[in-house]
Amino acid sequence: MAKIIVYPPTSMILSDLVDRMGHKALVVPEAVRKLVTASDIQSPPLNVTPEEPKKGLRYAAVDVPSGVRGRMALIGPIIEEAEAAIIVEDPGWLTGCAGCSRTNELVRLLIRTKGVPLLDLSYPNNDEQARAFVKKIKAFLEGLK
Amino acid sequence: MLVTKYVITSSESDILPSDIAMKIYGSGRKVNVKETCFGVMINGEEDVIAELVKDIRTLDPHGIFIKDRGFPPGDPRRCRGRRGGGARPGFYMIESEAKLLPMITRALAFEGDAREPPPREKHLHLKRLEEIIKEDLS
């Protein structure tokens, strides 16, 4: 079982397909869960302390907006943990944790420069593309076993 | 550790959120269930949820999709009843991807050999656009 980071890191389709094939999908909700359900919440309601943007400094310079560094505090450790990656081209409707374009550029760059096996795809628009989409993901994940 | 998962059904699936909820109640496992318009949220111990997810998938192996959620169900920090209405931020991502689920469901059920689709049309290059404008204006 390999740890696969998926991009967009909040994608339901990608995390589900990875789980179906017997691998572990590394996704942002897991990182969020650790923050919001910790028993020693220091900064209610979300427990995002000044430490989070500082963690983000490992991935982005100090003059980068704190929103990018805050997001990287969640996504950066996931990238470090990843053993393979699936990147689906930005569909143009990313929101929430994945709603910052500059963070997304940095995430894609860090994944690509990490040197792990990588699958590049686009979201399907019709049945033919969807079949190829699923087939490529299956073949990629089977190759990792 | 307590985990929360979304169980989301494809719009073409015959399974309703209430069917999934009944399956979970019938399993007798100690989990919290919350029905939504697109599926259910389940919250419980990690190993219990992992087993339950396998059971739920048997209802419709290709039409049920699972996603992690950070906040527990009904959490006042995310629950719209406490926030004064409006969808929570993550819903828009689910809504957008849910439109693709029928295609993904059919693709998962497809047993033949998927052909490589023709390459997608690329956006018009800026220089070509300039040429077209100049041709039209000249």
CB–CB contact A127 B100 (8 Å) = no
Exposure string (b/e) for A35-46, b if CB count within 10 Å is 16 or more? bbbeeeeeeeee
- For residue B69, the domain's CATH number is 3.30.70
- Enumerate the residues of chain B whose CB falls inside 8 A of the CB of residue A46: 77
- Enumerate the residues of chain B whose CB falls inside 8 A of the CB of residue A122: 120
Judged on CB neighbours under 10 Å (0-12, 13-18, 19+), A3 is: middle
B114 touching A (Cβ < 8 Å) = yes
Nearest beta carbon to residue A95 from set B68, B76, B92: B92
Residues spanned by the domain of B86: 2-109
At B90 the pLDDT is 79
- In this prediction the pTM is 0.88
In chain A, whose CA is at the least distance from the CA of B115?
A: A132
Question: Per-10-residue mean pLDDT for chain A, 145 residues long?
Answer: 92 94 92 81 71 86 88 92 91 78 92 95 91 94 87
B10 touching A (Cβ < 8 Å) = no
A112 touching B (Cβ < 8 Å) = no
B96 touching A (Cβ < 8 Å) = yes
Please give, rounded to a whole number of angstroms, the shortest distance from the CA of B24 to a CA of chain A. 19
Nearest beta carbon to residue B70 from set A32, A93, A127: A32
A43 touching B (Cβ < 8 Å) = no
Cα distance between residue A119 and residue A137, in whole Å: 8
Residue B33 included in any domain: yes
At A45 the pLDDT is 67
A123 touching B (Cβ < 8 Å) = yes
Helices (H) and strands (E) in chain B, counts: 6, 4
Residue B19 included in any domain: yes
SS3 A120: strand
Q: Taking a C-beta distance cutoff of 8 angstroms, is the pair B62, B103 a contact? A: no
Residue B10 included in any domain: yes
Neighbouring C-alpha atoms within 13 Å toward the C-beta of A32 = 20
At A23 the pLDDT is 95
Nearest beta carbon to residue B65 from set A16, A27, A129: A16
β-pair partners for B4? B43, B69
In chain A, whose CA is at the least distance from the CA of B70?
A: A33
Cα distance between residue B97 and residue A102, in whole Å: 22
Q: Domain tally for chain B?
A: 1
Cα distance between residue B3 and residue B85, in whole Å: 25
B102 touching A (Cβ < 8 Å) = no
Residue B125 included in any domain: no
Residue B133 included in any domain: no
Residue B88 included in any domain: yes
For chain B, 138 residues long, give each residue's pLDDT as a single digit of tens: 889 999 999 999 999 999 999 999 999 999 999 998 889 999 999 999 999 999 999 999 999 999 999 888 888 887 888 878 888 777 888 888 999 999 999 999 988 787 788 887 788 899 999 999 999 887
Cα distance between residue A85 and residue A95, in whole Å: 21
Domain ranges of chain A: 3-142
Cα distance between residue B66 and residue A21, in whole Å: 13
**Pairs across A and B, CB distance < 8 A:** 113
